Structure 1
Amino acid sequence: MSINIGIIDSRVRKLAGDLAPEFETRLNIKNDEPKKQSAAFVYLVAKTLLDLSEPEALDVLTEGGADFGIDAMHVGDVEDGEFLVTLFQGKYKQNQEGASAFPQGGAEKMVQAIKYLFDPRATITTNAQLTKRVEDVRSLVGDGYIPRVRAVLCNNGIKWDVRAQEVIDAAKFPHDQVTWMYVNHDELVLLMQAAKQVDDTLRLAGKAIVEDLDFYRVLIGKIPVAEVAALFARHGDLLLERNVRRFLGLQSNRVNQRIASTLITPIERGNFYFYNNGITLLCRKFTHNALQADNFQVRVEGLQVINGGQTCKTIEHTMATLAAAEPGIEKAFVLVRLYQLPSDAGDLVRNITYATNSQNPVDLRDLRSNDIRQRNLEAAVADLGYQYRRHRSDTAFKTTDISSATAAEAVLSVWRHRPQQGKFQGREHFDKLYDMIFSDDLNGAQVVIATLLFRIAENKRRRPPAGAPDFVAYGSCFLAMLMGQYLLSDLGLTLAQLNHTKFVDAKAKLEQNEEAYFKKATDAVDAALKKLYGGQTVSLQRLAATFRRGDLIQELGVPA
């Protein structure tokens, strides 16, 4: 048994035990240790690969009977008319030899799933967990949004063989819409490793500018793309601030496709330098031979890529498919900016990262973490007995912990009356919607109460009460919003009056009436749906679309 197989097996067994109640409730897995371990393995892959929280990772699991070969499914936010869907299929072997290839049959199931799941006209039978997600995706497709599919095949063995590859190739999926990815124990261990200091040598080409700015140093030059590929071959994603969630693949991202196309096309390779915005690097220290005129070899300590991660990963993947002696590849360069910053320059690092990545909202939660409003909320929430986590963290959450991402979704849904944006526009929460959500008058009590309301609705979504209507699967943010209105009404308060002095009363009132509030909100939404659709039966696809578009806001009589 390899050490990495042992590491993953240890984690899988622990997760299988810790999450057994969840697996029993969500996936109906009872007294079946192999199935629990299989579910735990898929959970671990999805959580690690997509950088999900524990509740988010549990939510994506769909394993069970009638799962169409899909063990987990994650639907990303809509961006530029497209959305990324990641499908997982896991094969976890009880024997720990690590020599089994991902089976051909697994690839065949994934191919069939992709053929049918994204066709709104196809009739399929799947389990309840998967059906809700499939109909959500189909409603997006019906509204004209384009799905980009990433099929992740994972096991604790080796990659699929040539026969499985033939199955994938024979499917003839559009290369700009479906990409395939393999993950095993070795890749997982690499992703889970704590950030290590990367020390290496950058071999630049041609002239470069080196300048001292106060206590910082700057180097601007160009580096051959072959050197970038070699650098990532040596260190992989340890060079990136975040894991491979930031790399969406060559086929699932149009920018990456253009980067790859330039490298693949011989007559365009020499223009790569002009087509690309370049790479921004940070390091603790860099040294070079200043007596040279050009072609510097720059020794760097503590190297990190803070902007251009997509470019670097695309170069790495594309160069792996090209022959080393490809004509013209030696003329392909990329602009590089290298900043030497002291180890205590944390705020400056975050500000530089924010400024150079502001076009990529998925990362803005971390980049906003040092904002004065986030710091103030951290202190205010702490005074109420809760911990506000403004930084992303790998440590387990307690019931008294509130992440900034959850707070944003809850506040936008409950107090700003934008539940459709709370649920479906997560990329914008720390970008375009940031000032609306985290306004100057938002206080700690409002954040905690909104989060508690949101958690109640989300728990009902994950574990619907007996006889709960279908819309509970899609309308949790709407239900939380209505519950917030009922709570304020019972307290006789406006939102502005809900502060630390009223927090204890508000929390007690919510705990006393949460079931009644949820039932009242469910009845209100049910009545609004019947009014909106004239009492006709509404399909899951239409329900998903209704809550995504916010059609019910006016019917519910909630002020904008």
Structure 2
Amino acid sequence: MNINASIIDQRLTSVVNDIRQKAAEELRINDQGRLKSLAFAYLCVKTILDLENDNAFDCLTEGGGDFGVDAMHISEEYDGEFTVTLFQAEYKNNLEGNSNFPEQGIESLINAIQYLFNPAAQLEHINERLLTKVEEARSLIRDGYIPQVRAIACNNGLKWNESAQGAIERTGFGDQVTWEHVNHERLVQILQATRPVKENSQNPVDLKDLRANDERQQRLDMDMQQLGFNYRRKRSDTSTRSTDITSGVAAEAVLSVWREKPHQAKFFSREHFGKLYDSIFTDQLNGSQVIIAVQLYRIAENRRKRPEHTDPDFVRYASCFIAMQMGRRILADMGIQMREISHHNFPRAQQLIEQNGEAYFNTSVQDIQQALHELYGRQDISLQQLSATFRRGDLITRLQ
């Protein structure tokens, strides 16, 4: 038995417990064997991309059909380029660590990349969760952004064989695609390494940690504690409860709901603790305002991840826009402006969210449906168009 393979196998036991509920709710996976495979893919994504728990889980796709990948991550656009990271994970319960990554897994990655580079190709037999991500990436390509692709083959064994390597070389993808092998040895190596926080780093996680001791962050922490909530100013690998609010989620929610810049909330997260920090976390921002924004944002995000069959397609792209409209509705019901939200009227706001949260969501969806009709008329809107529309913020002026 390989020791590092054994270490990862033990780790998967706790990972399975961490993701069990989300796996059932979002991916409808309950089978123990499939859960373990999913946990391995999740561990690889989280470790390689250094993502927080919810963001790592959001990458999991349970791919199949024409686009057989297990996870997919799309970076933010930067200087006209963006990176798509595709994961194919193969886990064996045999812990000898001596099996090659299967050639079929490499073929699945090759097939997925070919579809990715051709925005006009029709995809069939692909689940909605994955299709949403694929069309988001293809929408960026249609808009002229240049994709760089990382194809990551993950297993608890050896690299792919010569035949699979030949298949990679025959693709002609060139420098636009990089191929990486990640196994138990590499995972243990990364997990054992410390993660230094550098002053000049552009990693949003690092910037977030640098801001953690900022006076404004400390004040929000104290303010939220008094309201019964736990503000996580620093990165943490423990699971979040409903009363936990991470600084990253707070930034996205406040930027969507109160600053009314939902496109920046979704697509500029690397700047939330950089260039956008002072406009998000102003001196006037208080704990009550953050909590209310996060609660509205979570309603919209939960539906993005678990849409009902009656929800329109755009719900998977528009959660930040929906949250913005929900914020406007709660202010109207309270008869106040955002700056007037405080611990004095916080209980009333909580009561309204509890009673009317679903109604706020549904009427906000109708707002966006109407805005889309004004923008595009009654024509069918493709998923690629929808993705581009919400990325560019085309609807904001129509939702005033």
Q: Which of the five TM-score ranges fits, normalised by the shorter chain? A: over 0.9
Structure 1 residue 89, shift from structure 2 partner? 0.2
Structure 1 residue 67, shift from structure 2 partner? 6.0
Structure 1 residue 69, shift from structure 2 partner? 2.0
CA distance 1:83–1:64, shift in 2 (3 Å): closer
Residue 138 of structure 1 aligns with an amino acid whose one-letter code is R
1:496 corresponding residue in structure 2:
339
Query: Does the 8 Å contact 1:150/1:181 carry over to 2?
Result: yes
Structure 1 residue 425, shift from structure 2 partner? 0.6
Tell me the secondary structure at the aligned position of residue 327 of structure 2.
Answer: helix
| 1: CA distance, partners of 2:259 / 2:270 | 17
| 2: CA distance, partners of 1:404 / 1:362 | 10
Query: Does the 8 Å contact 2:63/2:130 carry over to 1?
Result: no
2:398 corresponding residue in structure 1:
555
**2:273 is equivalent to residue 430 of structure 1:** yes
| 4+ residue segments displaced more than 4 Å | 359-362
TM-score, normalising length: structure 1: 0.69
Tell me the secondary structure at the aligned position of residue 79 of structure 1.
Answer: coil
| 2: CA distance, partners of 1:436 / 1:190 | 39
**2:378 is equivalent to residue 535 of structure 1:** yes
2:169 corresponding residue in structure 1:
169
2:264 corresponding residue in structure 1:
421
Structure 1 residue 502, shift from structure 2 partner? 1.3
Alignment of 1:19-168 (within 5 A): 19-31=19-31, 33-66=32-65, 68-125=67-124, 126-168=126-168
Task: Select between 371-380 and 1-10 the one with higher mean Cα deviation.
Answer: 1-10
Residue 97 of structure 2 aligns with an amino acid whose one-letter code is G
Task: Select between 545-554 and 374-383 the one with higher mean Cα deviation.
Answer: 374-383
Alignment of 1:317-328 (within 5 A): none
Tell me the secondary structure at the aligned position of residue 74 of structure 1.
Answer: strand
| 2: CA distance, partners of 1:518 / 1:182 | 43
Structure 1 residue 172, shift from structure 2 partner? 2.0
Query: Does the 8 Å contact 2:66/2:112 carry over to 1?
Result: no
| 2: CA distance, partners of 1:360 / 1:472 | 28
Say which structure is richer in strand.
1
2:321 corresponding residue in structure 1:
478
| 1: CA distance, partners of 2:277 / 2:82 | 22
**2:378 is equivalent to residue 379 of structure 1:** no
CA distance 1:25–1:377, shift in 2 (3 Å): closer
1:452 corresponding residue in structure 2:
295
Structure 1 residue 526, shift from structure 2 partner? 0.8
Residue 109 of structure 1 aligns with an amino acid whose one-letter code is S
| 2: CA distance, partners of 1:551 / 1:96 | 52
| 1: CA distance, partners of 2:233 / 2:30 | 37
| 1: CA distance, partners of 2:23 / 2:338 | 39
Tell me the secondary structure at the aligned position of residue 78 of structure 1.
Answer: coil
CA distance 1:64–1:119, shift in 2 (3 Å): closer
| 2: CA distance, partners of 1:55 / 1:391 | 15
Structure 1 residue 22, shift from structure 2 partner? 2.9
Tell me the secondary structure at the aligned position of residue 77 of structure 1.
Answer: coil
| 2: CA distance, partners of 1:65 / 1:111 | 14
Query: Does the 8 Å contact 2:53/2:237 carry over to 1?
Result: no
Structure 1 residue 18, shift from structure 2 partner? 4.7
* RCO higher in structure (CA 8 A, sep ≥6): 2
Structure 1 residue 362, shift from structure 2 partner? 5.8
| 2: CA distance, partners of 1:514 / 1:44 | 34
| 1: CA distance, partners of 2:279 / 2:206 | 19
Structure 1 residue 378, shift from structure 2 partner? 1.2
RMSD: 1.7
**2:181 is equivalent to residue 182 of structure 1:** yes
Deviation track 1:228-275 (CA, whole Å, cap 9, x = no partner) reads xxxxxxxxx54x51xxxxxxxxxxxxxxxxxxxxxxxxxxxxxxxxxx
- The unaligned stretches of length 5 or more in structure 2 are none
2:254 corresponding residue in structure 1:
411
1:507 corresponding residue in structure 2:
350
Tell me the secondary structure at the aligned position of residue 87 of structure 1.
Answer: strand
1:525 corresponding residue in structure 2:
368
Structure 1 residue 444, shift from structure 2 partner? 0.8
Query: Does the 8 Å contact 1:118/1:134 carry over to 2?
Result: no
Tell me the secondary structure at the aligned position of residue 174 of structure 2.
Answer: coil
Query: Does the 8 Å contact 1:445/1:500 carry over to 2?
Result: yes
Residue 150 of structure 2 aligns with an amino acid whose one-letter code is R
Task: Select between 163-172 and 496-505 the one with higher mean Cα deviation.
Answer: 163-172
| 2: CA distance, partners of 1:361 / 1:135 | 25
CA distance 1:114–1:64, shift in 2 (3 Å): closer
Structure 1 residue 94, shift from structure 2 partner? 2.3
Deviation track 1:406-463 (CA, whole Å, cap 9, x = no partner) reads 1111000000000000001111111111111011111111111111111111001111
Tell me the secondary structure at the aligned position of residue 77 of structure 2.
Answer: strand
Structure 1 residue 30, shift from structure 2 partner? 4.4
Say which structure is richer in helix.
2
Deviation track 1:450-481 (CA, whole Å, cap 9, x = no partner) reads 11111111001111123110000000000001
Residue 129 of structure 1 aligns with an amino acid whose one-letter code is R
| 2: CA distance, partners of 1:156 / 1:89 | 12
| 2: CA distance, partners of 1:399 / 1:378 | 16
Q: Which has the larger radius of gyration?
A: 1
Identity %: 52
TM-score, normalising length: structure 2: 0.95
- The unaligned stretches of length 5 or more in structure 1 are 194-236, 242-305, 307-352
| 2: CA distance, partners of 1:444 / 1:93 | 47
2:235 corresponds, among 392, 396, 404, to 392
| 2: CA distance, partners of 1:72 / 1:115 | 16
| 2: CA distance, partners of 1:525 / 1:100 | 51
Deviation track 1:163-204 (CA, whole Å, cap 9, x = no partner) reads 2222212222121x21111111122222223xxxxxxxxxxx
Residue 68 of structure 1 aligns with an amino acid whose one-letter code is F
| 1: CA distance, partners of 2:22 / 2:247 | 25
| 1: CA distance, partners of 2:128 / 2:64 | 10
2:309 corresponds, among 462, 466, 471, to 466
Query: Does the 8 Å contact 1:61/1:73 carry over to 2?
Result: yes
